[in-house]
Structure 1
Amino acid sequence: MTNVRKNHHYVSQSYLKAWGNNHNRVWNYRILVSHNSVPIWSQSSIKSIANHQHLFTRSIVGRDSDEFEIWMDQEIETPAQIALSKVRSNEPLNTHDWECLLRFVALHDIRSPANYINSMNRWNSEMPTVIEEVLQSSVNRLEADENIGSIPTHKNYTDFGIIPMRVSKEIDNNSERGYLKAEVLLGRGLWLFSIRHTLSSTYKVLNKHTWSILLAPEGVEWLTSDNPVVKLNYYNAGSYDFKGGWGNEGTEIIFPLSPSLLLYAKVGERVTLNNISKELSTMLNRFIAENAHRYIFATNPTKETSEIRPRIVNSEDYENEKREWENWHTGQKNLEMEFQELKDARKCDQD
């Protein structure tokens, strides 16, 4: 595999082009910087931003594979281009266009570094309970099965091959009973599985919502970011968070489509919005900026952005984070190989 794609964008270049100039350069505001001399705003080529090396690479039998990156490109990004073009040209969307567009929205919600970090935090706290419940449920089904002596029919779920997981059985001496032990490696493999599962089925909940495409008022341009899908829970003035969900009643989903167009829905409401005030658009831009992870993108620099989202100047944190992403692929690959080797060794012992 000599031509493996290495530079993986978690915000599509085709998406960011709407904010770029004729030279495919976009203004970006960095939230974490190494020192005060870093410019508040700078221009970068779209090709060079919102990406990491080998972010979605899979290690298969010790070799790098870009099949996951290609799958996202062919199945989601490319089909969405017609819908994006229609929206930006003020053309009506048919049912298929909406399906492609909303899958594109889902893609940009779950494949960002921010999503990976949030997922890891959630898995670290919840995974032991999840595994315990799944194993107990499996044991209960087997014990209730009249054909307990037979082996269940194997079903081929191709996505499961992505998960670094091992299941072992241990039986005590002089006993007919034992226990099952399941272990999952929390990291890139599990993240890729969750992305693929979500983009293959779960995303369809977005089709149930009523969507509006909001035109920015005169004098306002929509911002976007490296975490462009905002899932807002708004309680009252000054009280809100970004912990909403695609199917959570009351969650407001916000996704900028261009500097002039923004996709919006409120879960559980079937009302479309048309014209919005400058005051509301300013508030929406605030939410977009606050939801950003490390970058905010715009067609033009705005001083309000630094007031909404003051940048963090910390050389140590900046260098540590930079080093983590530089070592991302090697570290994840080594962990997965070690996990697989131990899995193979245990399988041999059981055989």
Structure 2
Amino acid sequence: MSDTVNHHFIPQFYLRGFSDAVDRRKSQVFVFDQSTKKSFRTLVRNIGARRNFFRIDVEGFDPNHVEDGMAEIESEIAPLLEEVIATKSFPSEAHFSSVMMLMGNMAVRNPRFRSMIEDLHVKVANGMMRMTIRDKDRYHDSIRDAREKGAPIRDDISYEDMKEFIERGEYNIAIDRTYLIGLELDSVPTVVEQLARRSWSFASAPPGTTFMTCDDPVVLAWADGQDRGPYSPGFGVPGTIVIFPIAPELALIGLFVKQPPNRNFGCDQVADMNTSIAKNATKQLYARDGEFQIHTRSALYTSGKDLPTVLAQQAKAKVQWHGKEA
């Protein structure tokens, strides 16, 4: 049992791999925050986390049961990941399974995925509520059914009052966090299974260049880079690619077609991959230092340390352009 409140959806041991600190307790990384357009260095423990993100409310279980359990799993994965990085290979089935588990957890147990699932449930709940008030008989049937199942529904609210209330839409629907955490945990094995079906290649960055990572580093995309409109890529869908940076000099590429176990990237390929990772970020980019490069709208090969200046110039130019149009 622990009293941890700062729950890391990006494991600290993973982020430490992007730091050059000798003392793990003092591990720092370069951070670029896309919401504030500012960069800074900070301790690993301060990023990739949210307060009580994995806290559950289940009778008989400690609220940090899920967080503590994942911490134990991560302590087993950490040394295996170090060996994978050192050898640029999967020395054993245990090494392969551990990396797949790491990716599966980060792909599902994060704020973006939770928000997506929560929004879906809210839309379904809203739809069901509006269907219920289409006519009186349906409304009264649903009320009776809910009461039979133990729901504490008051009997002094008329159909007309409820219909008006729902149509106004002046309410919020809250989805239980423990329920959402359960859905995430249920989804992890399926994602891990699909990741394990892929052919994996280790991509090495050339001297003088580095990969960066972010707060949602398992990038899933169409392998040909083409837009499919309303069709989203899935972890089990052919024609998709998964990229995952595991160290400043090393990244993984997963495809459903056979590929060489190792690749030596050029500077342009590293910048291309960093750009894909940056686009997948929810809010923050992380790196060993500000020397990594990505492509921006106005400049190719923009260094991380220059992002605040470059993006500020782009925003200013956009305002001036719109001003001329007006």
Q: Give the whole-Å Cα distance in 1 for the aligned partners of 2:308 and 2:239.
A: 28
The letter for the 2-side match of 1:247 is G
Equivalent pairs, count: 256
**Alpha-carbon distance between aligned partners in 2 of 1:62 and 1:185, rounded to the nearest angstrom:** 24
Preserved contact between residue 17 and residue 24 of structure 1 (Cα < 8 Å): yes
Match of 1:24 among 13, 27, 32: 27
In structure 2, what is the equivalent of residue 81 of structure 1?
78
* Cα distance, 1:48 vs structure 2: 1.3
Contact 2:88 2:202 in 1 (8 A): no
Instruction: Name the residue aligned to 2:120.
Output: 122
| 1:59 maps onto 2:48 in alignment | no
Distance between the aligned counterparts of 1:259 and 1:216, measured in 2?
8
Alignment-derived partner of residue 206 in structure 1: 195
Letter in 2 for 1:97: H
* Amino acid across the alignment from 2:16: K
Structure 1 partner of 2:105:
107
1:270 is paired with a residue whose SS is coil
Matched residue type, 1:120: E
Q: Which among 263, 283, 303 is matched to residue 294 of structure 1? A: 283
Say if 1:232 and 1:240, in contact at 8 Å, map to a contact too: no
- 2:68 pairs with 62, 67, 70, which one? 70
The residue number in structure 1 matching 2:160 is none
Q: Does the C-alpha gap of structure 1 residues 236 and 296 become closer, same or farther in structure 2, counting only changes over 3 Å?
A: closer
Greater CA drift, 83-92 or 212-221: 83-92
% of aligned pairs identical?
Answer: 19
Corresponding residue for residue 95 of structure 2: 97
Q: How much has 1:122 moved relative to structure 2? A: 3.2
Structure 1 Cα separation of the partners of residues 247 and 274 of structure 2: 13
Task: Provide the secondary structure at the position in 2 that maps to 1:117.
Answer: helix
CA contact (8 A) 2:215 2:284 kept: yes
Please give the secondary structure, in 2, of the residue aligned with 1:221.
coil
Distance of 2:275 and 2:264 partners within structure 1 = 18
Q: Distance in 2 between matches of 1:193 and 1:309?
A: 42
Query: Which stretch of the first structure deviates more once superposed, 220-229 or 198-207?
Result: 198-207
Instruction: Write the distance in 2 (CA, Å) between the matches of 1:258 and 1:117.
Output: 28
- What is the deviation of 1:95? 0.9
CA distance in 1, matches of 2:309, 2:264: 24
Letter paired with 1:192 = I
Corresponding residue SS for 2:257: coil
- For the residue of structure 2 that corresponds to 1:55, the secondary structure is coil
Q: Are the equivalent residues in 2 in contact too, given 1:289–1:309 (CA < 8 A)?
A: no
What corresponds to 1:222 in structure 2?
211
1:12 matched to which residue of 2?
A: 11
> Structure 2-normalised TM-score?
0.69
* Cα distance in 2 between the residues matched to 1:277 and 1:69: 39
Displacement of 1:262 in angstroms is 0.3
State the Cα deviation string for residues 313-333 of structure 1 (Å, max 9, x = none).
Answer: 9xxxxxxxxxxxxxxxxxxxx
Unaligned runs of 5+ in 1: 131-166, 172-183, 314-351
Shift of 1:61: 4.6
Cα distance, 1:169 vs structure 2: 7.2
CA shift for structure 1 position 121: 2.7
- Per-residue CA deviation, residues 227-246 of structure 1 (Å, 9 max, x unaligned), is 11110125457x58994221
User: Is 1:195 matched up with 2:193?
Assistant: no
What is the TM-score normalised by the length of structure 1? 0.64
Cα distance, 1:61–1:96 mapped onto 2, change above 3 Å: closer
- Written as runs of structure 1 = structure 2, the 5 A alignment for 1:1-351 is 3-22=2-21, 23-33=26-36, 40-61=38-59, 65-75=63-73, 77-90=74-87, 92=89, 93-125=91-123, 168=146, 170=148, 186-236=175-225, 239=227, 243-266=232-255, 268-272=256-260, 274-302=263-291, 303-305=302-304, 306=307, 310=311
Q: Give the CA deviation at 1:110.
A: 1.2
RMSD (Å) for aligned C-alpha atoms? 3.3
**CA contact 2:191–2:235 (8 Å) conserved in 1:** no
